[in-house]
Amino acid sequence: MISKCSKLENSISSTENMDNLFKRATFDNSAAEKTGYSNYSYWASTWKVFVKNKVAMFFMVMLITLLLFTFIQPFLPGQKSPTTIYTDPQTEIQLRNLEPNSEFWFGTNTIGQDLWSRIWSGTRTSMLIGLAVGIWDAVIGIIVGSLWGYVRSLDPFITQVYNVLNNIPSSIILILVSYILKPSVTTIIFAMCLTGWLPTARFVRNQVVIIRDREFNLASRCLGTPTKRVITKNLLPQLVSVIMMRIALAIPAAIGHEVFLTYIGLGLPVSTPSLGNLVNEGRMVMMSPSLRYQLIFPAAVLSLITVSFYIMGNSFADAADPKNHI
């Protein structure tokens, strides 16, 4: 009997000791909210991944520096006019084909114009064309492509329109519009915008078709979510990476089309400096070794812009993919 009592007392004391070792759990609403909170930001994560790509960052800094200098260059002291024909003050002979020197940093062209000023003025013109066409192609292409891929009733009509326009070579449209209308920056932008959005629309349509019948989109449709909201909230965020890449590639492509039109004589007039005009002028004298600088300088600026947009577009597309976010 005594042993049983002692065992009972020991079990009671051990239970009391166990109670002292542990604390009862309590529920804290604020702590629960902190546990479930995530400070994840899509754009912040995209930027962090993009910054890790040193090559892309280098070209981005180079491109931003180039563009900033291009737009502030006319306001710097000692800059010459890109359209003025310079002559020798004593003989009044045009200062033609002067090699780079302290007065004309990039030399002069075949009629005595300052090549330094013409290159930066031409870069401004070509960038204006590229940005205008690139933005138009992106906006129209994304809108048409999203509706084309998601709204099934519009698919046959837009497909027929696409087939008709796409079967006409874009170069033919550019040439015809440039030939009919007066050559100008507006004419070139208009000609490129007519059919430039077709590749983007087709690309976005194919991507939307792939993801439109996934579970979250089916659930949204069952709940009666409007088409506009499904496209803007469900579909387009899934395509940010590929859309940004298309936009980045559309800008140098537009500049390349401007160079092509000028090359065949249907681009901007000679009085309007552009990279296309400068490359075309340099091409005419490239067989003379002493005059090749007239082609090298504008071609180098054009190549830097094109390569920078290409590398930045691909790098940003990779960074915008949520799979690469940590």
Range of the domain at 275: 58-73+110-324
Separation of alpha carbons 229 and 79, rounded Å: 52
pLDDT band at residue 42 using 50, 70 and 90 as cut-offs:
confident
pLDDT band at residue 55 using 50, 70 and 90 as cut-offs:
very high
205-263 confidence digits (pLDDT tens): 888 888 888 888 788 878 888 888 887 777 777 777 777 777 778 888 888 888 788 77
Decide if pLDDT at 26 tops 60. yes
Domain assignment of residue 27, yes or no? no
Domain assignment of residue 49, yes or no? no
pLDDT band at residue 22 using 50, 70 and 90 as cut-offs:
low
Domain assignment of residue 146, yes or no? yes
Separation of alpha carbons 308 and 167, rounded Å: 31
Domain assignment of residue 13, yes or no? no
Contact 120, 67 (CB under 8 A): no
Over range 38-65, report the average pLDDT: 85
Contact 236, 243 (CB under 8 A): yes
Number of domains in the chain: 1
Domain assignment of residue 293, yes or no? yes
Decide if pLDDT at 24 tops 80. no
pLDDT number for residue 118: 92
For the chain, the average pLDDT equals: 82
- Please state, as a whole number, how many other Cβ atoms lie within 10 Å of the Cβ of residue 133: 25
Over range 189-196, report the average pLDDT: 87
Domain assignment of residue 103, yes or no? no
User: Pick the residue with more confidence: 241 or 192?
Assistant: 192
pTM of the model: 0.78
Decide if pLDDT at 296 tops 80. yes
User: Pick the residue with more confidence: 271 or 24?
Assistant: 271
Domain assignment of residue 67, yes or no? yes
pLDDT number for residue 119: 92
Q: Please, what is the angle between helix 54-72 and helix 293-320, to 10°?
A: 130
What CATH number did the domain enclosing 264 receive?
A: 1.10.3720.10
Decide if pLDDT at 14 tops 60. no
Domain assignment of residue 161, yes or no? yes
Which range, of 33-37, 151-155, 219-223, 261-265, averages the lowest pLDDT?
33-37
Give the residue among 36, 259, 217 at the shortest CA–CA distance from 126.
259
Separation of alpha carbons 70 and 65, rounded Å: 8
Decide if pLDDT at 122 tops 70. yes
